[in-house]
Amino acid sequence: MTIDTGKVYRLEDYRASDYRIDRTTLAFRLDPDQTRVTATLDIARRDEAALDAPLVLDGDGLKLISVSLDGTQLSPDRYQASPDELKLEGLPKGAFTLTVETELAPAANGALMGLYLSNGVYCTQCEAEGFRRITYFLDRPDVMSVYTVRVEALRAAAPILLSNGNPVESGDLGDGWHYAVWHDPHPKPSYLFALVAGDLGLLSDRFTTRSGRDVALGIYVERGKEARTPYAMDALKRSMIWDEEVFGCEYDLDVFNIVAVSDFNMGAMENKGLNIFNDKYVLADEETATDADFSNIEAIIAHEYFHNWTGNRITCRDWFQLCLKEGLTVFRDHEFSADMRSRPVKRIAEVRILKALQFPEDQGPLAHPVRPRRYREINNFYTATVYEKGSEVVRMIRTILGADVFRKGMDLYFERHDGDAATIEDFLKVFEDVSGRDLSQFALWYHQAGTPHVSVSAAFDEARGELTLDIEQSVPPTPLESRKRVMYIPIAFGLVGANGADIEAAAVEGAVVENGVIHLKKRKHSVRFSGLSERPAISLNRGFSAPVTLSCEQSIDDRLFLARHDSDEVARWQALNGLLTDHLIKASKSQQARSNIAPRLAEVLGDIAGDDTLEPAYRALALTLPGEADIAREIGSDIDPNAIHIARNALIDTIAAANRESFQALYARFEESDSFSPDAESAGRRALRNVLLDYVSAAGATPDRAADQYRNATNMTERAAALAVLAHRFARTQAATAALADFENRYGNDPLVLDKWFQIQATTPGEGALSRVSELMNHKGFSIGNPNRVRSLVGTFASGNQTGFHRADGAGYALVADAILDVEKRNPQLAARLATAFRSWRSLETGRQALARKELERIAATHNLSTDLKDIVERTLA
Ligand code: B3K
Ligand code: ZN
């Protein structure tokens, strides 16, 4: 574990390295405790560098065996070596070859960075700075090298030997050993290096690119799980076609392999030609995976594949530019899923995720710009801001320039920067060049943290047929940035007439308005629309065109009208969601004063549920009330999670009671009839039925229906939803206990499925969840060393259980803090991620605030904290 040194990295300190490493030849002799790595590096000094520049290679906890220069072993006085650095001086003036031997213990690597063993499979994770845990290197993304990798292993332990690029040769070495050599012709940064060796099952297939390259596709999984790979393979092939058709990007090697491993710190990794995945995002069949799993798999397979161009062919100059590849690639995977599924439903899901994950980040102590300017630990910047807001920024570029100009810009980006380690400035420049526009004000989206707020007030002059929108923007202060500049915000809008159709205004003044988008560039705009024959309802931020919070003075009647009739489905959902949220905020603040809007909301929801002209998936989203955390975020201060829980449940009961018969009938009508298909439409029907199950099980209903659905389920989507209803609404009843026991019994040996059982119990509302979570941490299926298990149980409890984690006595905080400190001993990255659950602690009411602070301070005071955890905890407390 790297103990914190306090070092801060700053964007303005960037300078190119003094040396290049043009070729990297690696030889691995694999052993769980003593793996030998021989790295042969062809190095040359850059022309700009001083003749006597020392070569300083990065290491992280390395054990050095030997160093040779141009074939001659160096005595230790010719270099300075520590586990974290190898420094050489007095090097040849021309090119030279450095050979470095290191020894690793993959079995002891619990951080899951560098080379480690996952369930007996050797695998690597190098992004961001894991390669330096394998060998000494210029471990930075702007040092790009052509790799040749030789892997030797015992054939019995590792019959499969994989690395990046194309296979070159393989053979037997005697004594049970064998080897394989891989060569990747594309120069790449070290973070994209990968190696896998183990005994794995394979699904193979082929793909022919549009220019005729025949590509061998492979998905490697734990033996016995091959039958759960076809969906991932199908998603991969669809991604490959889509990227050719939509972005003109073709695959560029003869092989593309995906390996699923069970111990992985995040979702997946885009290593060139050898993507390594958390098995949760590969393995799926109807019995073990939910529809949410299927759609995540589709999105993540696509995301990693799309990185081949946005990330790998064009990489980042330094880690400050992370959003260059991540935001852009998220945007691409969002577009892919929108094309594969329902575009508006996908967009609403994205907005919900952005608001749930990114808004609280932007509004709390961990706020940072999409392109940060400083970091202590880069792994803590793989955030919703970099990824999701980064994607929204790319989407706004498309909204501002239009789809055609945007595509031209992307073409120019690929043409101009192929093979480069690029920057955000490079990215913006291509769009300026193809459009002739100045994007310098727009660039603030990359540089300025905080969620902008747009407030709108409207006045209609009936006599003149004029509507005036007074619009004002503000950006709240964020850590290290108290003064904010005025941003360029594109707000898509519509003026909706009484018949539900959009009305065109004859003329507009006060702002540039093009193709249904108001371009806000000043702090205040007064936008006047004239030539209106009726007073319109105003639909704002259609399609969620800008990632802002928005307030608009509007009557409840207008809002209800938009919630039913807005032609833009995203805005229609936003209108509904806004009404629900406002009601829930009021109700949670004063439980007696029932806001009289609840019956009207129940009526709208009843109508939407039964409206067969709407997609079932949309209806399911509309019926899903804002979550307790969403309501807390909107309240923003002095939060009492119990009051929110009570208010939300009361609204569910009102809606359920008002629609009891119709919901029951609909629930029966949507019963699964055909054989299972994971497509979006079928998933939408299941989603609607599952939301209805929750309503028909509320307001004093019996657990019978949920118990029936649990028993008769023909797929995991139905089964897990029924189990959640039983466990959450009927906790500790015989029905719930029996179903939980049955689930454990059926799937106890299938870790990914057991994770769902952990999650469902971790999210049981109320005080009881805590003792159950702590009991489950001793369950035989739980392991503190496995990130999926830890996230399912502890992570889900901390971020998904408002009344459990935020127990008034602070016991939830203490349990999570204990778990963080325990996890940190082996896996600092995972511990730091868990600790972000505390990020909104200052918005709590004072009692909980004090208890949360106490736990944060206890963590901060722990001796020898890792950089990862110390960075998060100190920023959270600051
Ligand atoms: N690029 C990786 C994430 C690496 C995270 C390192 N802490 C997966 C992805 O975004 O595609
Ligand atoms: Zn990515």
**Tokens matching residue 512:** 């540039």
Cα three-residue angle 331-220-784, rounded to 5 degrees: 80
Per-residue pLDDT tens digits for 232-282? 999 999 999 999 999 999 999 999 999 999 999 999 999 999 999 999 999
Domain boundary among 395, 414, 447: 447
Structure tokens at 705: 């229906």
Question: Residue 266: CB within 6 Å of ligand 1?
Answer: yes
Contacts of 429-436 with C-beta under 8 Å, sequence gap 24+, read: 431/397, 431/401, 431/405, 431/406, 433/409, 434/401, 434/405, 434/408, 434/409, 435/401, 435/405, 435/409
Query: For the segment 94-113, what is each residue's pLDDT rounded down to a tens digit?
Result: 999 999 999 999 999 999 99
Q: Which pLDDT band, with edges at 50, 70 and 90, does 6 fall under?
A: confident
Q: What is the pLDDT of residues 613-626, one digit of tens each?
A: 999 999 999 999 99
pLDDT at 346: 98
CA distance 4 to 866: 5
Among 168, 198, 228, which residue terminates a domain? Answer: 198
Classify 541 in phi/psi space as left (phi over 0), alpha (psi -120 to 50) or beta: left
- Residue 478, domain CATH: 2.60.40.1840
Chain centroid to CA 165: 27
The verdict on 17 and 154 lying in the same domain is yes
Task: Establish if 810 belongs to a structural domain.
Answer: yes
The helix-helix angle for 403-417 and 390-401 (nearest 10°) equals 120
Catalytic residue among 129, 304, 326, 350: 304
Ligand 1 geometric centre to CA of 373 (Å): 19
823 lines ligand 1 (CB under 6 A): no
> What is the CATH classification number for the domain harbouring 148?
2.60.40.1730
The answer to whether 484 touches 448, Cβ cutoff 8 Å, is: yes
State the pLDDT at residue 248: 98
Q: Whose CA is nearest to atom 4 of ligand 1?
A: 127
What is the structure's pLDDT at 594?
58
Query: Is 304 tagged catalytic?
Result: yes
- Is residue 482 domain-resident? yes
Q: Is the CB of 128 under 6 A from ligand 1?
A: yes
pLDDT of residue 595: 62
pLDDT score, position 295:
98
Q: Give the bridge partners for 453, in sequence order.
A: 474, 549
Q: Which residue is closest in CA terms to ligand 1's atom 2?
A: 269
User: 329 and 409 share a domain?
Assistant: yes
Pocket test for ligand 1, best of 190, 382, 866 (most atoms within 8 A of CB): 382
Averaged pLDDT score across all residues of the chain: 97
pLDDT of amino acid 522: 98
- pLDDT of 2 reads 74
Instruction: Report the predicted TM-score, pTM, of the whole model to 2 decimal places.
Output: 0.98
- Whose alpha carbon is nearest atom 8 of ligand 1? 269
| Amino acid code (one letter) for 674 | D
Ligand 2 centroid–CA 362 distance in Å is 20
Q: Is the shortest distance between the CB of 270 and ligand 1 below 6 Å?
A: yes
Atom of ligand 1 nearest to the CA of 265: 7
How far, in Å, from the CA of 127 to the mean position of ligand 1?
6
Q: What is the pLDDT of residues 142-187, one digit of tens each?
A: 999 999 999 999 999 999 999 999 999 999 999 999 999 999 999 9
C-alpha 398 – ligand 2 centre gap (Å): 20
Residue 101 lies in a domain: yes
Residues 435 and 535 in one domain: no
Between vectors from CA 639 to CA 604 and to CA 635, what angle results, nearest 5°? 45
Distance 306 CA to ligand 2 centre (A): 9
User: Do residues 428 and 474 both lie within one domain?
Assistant: no
CA-CA distances (angstroms) from residue 365 to 19, 359, 453, 543, 871?
Answer: 38, 12, 18, 29, 12
Q: How far apart are CA 418 and CA 310, in angstroms?
A: 10
Say if ligand 1 is within 6 A of residue 382 CB. yes
H or E stretch at 68: strand 63-69
Angle, helices 343-353 vs 322-340, to 10°: value is 140
Which residue type, as a one-letter code, is found at position 495?
L
- Minimum CA distance residue for ligand 1 atom 9: 269
Q: Give the distance from CA 636 to its chain's centroid.
A: 23
- Residues 507, 404, single domain; the answer is no
pLDDT tens by residue, 821-832: 999 999 999 999
Residue 593 has pLDDT above 60, yes or no: no
Phi, psi of 541 (to 5 degrees): 55, 45
Q: In angstroms, how far is CA 492 from the centroid of its own chain?
A: 26
pLDDT for 591? 60
Residues 13, 138, single domain; the answer is yes
Q: Are 505 and 529 in contact (CB under 8 A)?
A: yes
Q: Which atom of ligand 1 is nearest to the CA of 300?
A: 11
- How many CA atoms within 13 Å lie on the side-chain side of 413? 30
Q: Cβ(305) to ligand 1 under 6 A?
A: no
Q: Which two tokens stand for residue 433?
A: 């060049």
**Within this chain, do residues 467 and 417 fall inside the same structural domain, yes or no?**
no
Phi, psi of 860 (to 5 degrees): -60, -30
**Residue 421 belongs to some domain of the structure:** yes
Tell me how far the alpha carbon of residue 84 lies from the centroid of ligand 1, in angstroms.
23
The CATH number covering residue 865 comes to 1.25.50.10
pLDDT at 372: 98
315 lines ligand 1 (CB under 6 A): no
Longest dimension (CA), the chain: 95
Sheet holding 166-174, edge to edge: 72-73, 63-69, 96-104, 35-45, 19-29, 144-154, 177-189, 166-174
On whether residue 384 sits in a domain, the answer given is: yes
pLDDT band at 507 (very low <50, low <70, confident <90, very high): confident
Q: Is residue 21 part of a domain?
A: yes
**Tens digits of residue pLDDT in 776-818:** 999 999 999 999 999 999 999 999 999 999 999 999 999 999 9
Classified as helix, coil or strand, 634 is: helix
- 377 CB within 6 A, ligand 1: no
Position 335 in a domain = yes
Burial class (CB within 10 angstroms; exposed 0-12, middle 13-18, buried 19+) of 502: middle
In tens, the pLDDT along 647-676 reads: 999 999 999 999 999 999 999 999 877 799
**Using a 6 Å cutoff on CB, does residue 379 contact ligand 1?**
yes
Q: How far apart are CA 84 and CA 93, in angstroms?
A: 26
Question: What residues have CB less than 8 Å from 146, skipping those under 6 apart?
Answer: 22, 23, 24, 184, 185, 186, 187
The single residue listed with the structure tokens 């105003």 is 538
Q: Ligand 1 pocket, 303 CB below 6 A?
A: yes
Domain range for 782? 748-878
Is 294 inside any structural domain? no
Cα 379 to middle of ligand 1, angstroms:
9
- Of 546, 576, 603, the residue at which a domain comes to its end is 546
* H or E stretch covering 339: helix 322-340
Say yes or no: CB of residue 628 within 6 Å of ligand 1: no
Task: Provide the pLDDT for residue 592.
Answer: 56
C-alpha 270 – ligand 1 centre gap (Å): 7
Residues 457 and 423 in one domain: no
Nearest ligand 1 atom to the CA of 326 is 10
| C-alpha of residue 268 to centroid of ligand 1, in Å | 7
Q: Which residues pair with 29 in a beta bridge?
A: 36, 152
* C-alpha to C-alpha distance for 163 and 176, rounded to whole angstroms: 21
Q: How many domains does the chain have?
A: 4
pLDDT at 541 over 80: yes
Helix (H, G, I), strand (E, B) or coil at 318: coil
Which residue out of 192, 193, 269 has the highest number of ligand 1 atoms within 8 Å of its CB and is therefore the one to mutate?
A: 269
Tell me what pLDDT residue 699 has.
85
639 neighbors 844 (Cβ within 8 angstroms): yes
The reply to whether ligand 1 has any atom less than 6 angstroms from the CB of 127 is: yes
Pair (439, 498) in one structural domain = no
Residue 425 shares a structural domain with residue 492:
no
* Ligand in nearest proximity to the CA of 328: 2
Which one of 60, 276, 326, 386 would you pick to mutate in the ligand 1 pocket, going by the greatest count of ligand atoms within 8 A of its CB?
326
Write the CB contacts of 378 (distance below 8 Å, at least 6 apart in sequence).
9, 128, 129, 319, 322
- The CATH code of the domain that includes 416 is 1.10.390.10
Q: Residue 775: left (phi > 0), alpha (psi -120 to 50), or beta?
A: alpha
Q: Are 426 and 457 within one domain?
A: no
**382 and 503 share one domain:** no
**Pocket test residue of 270, 278, 316, 866 for ligand 1, highest count of atoms within 8 A of CB:** 270
The sign one gets for the Cα dihedral 474, 475, 481, 485 is: negative
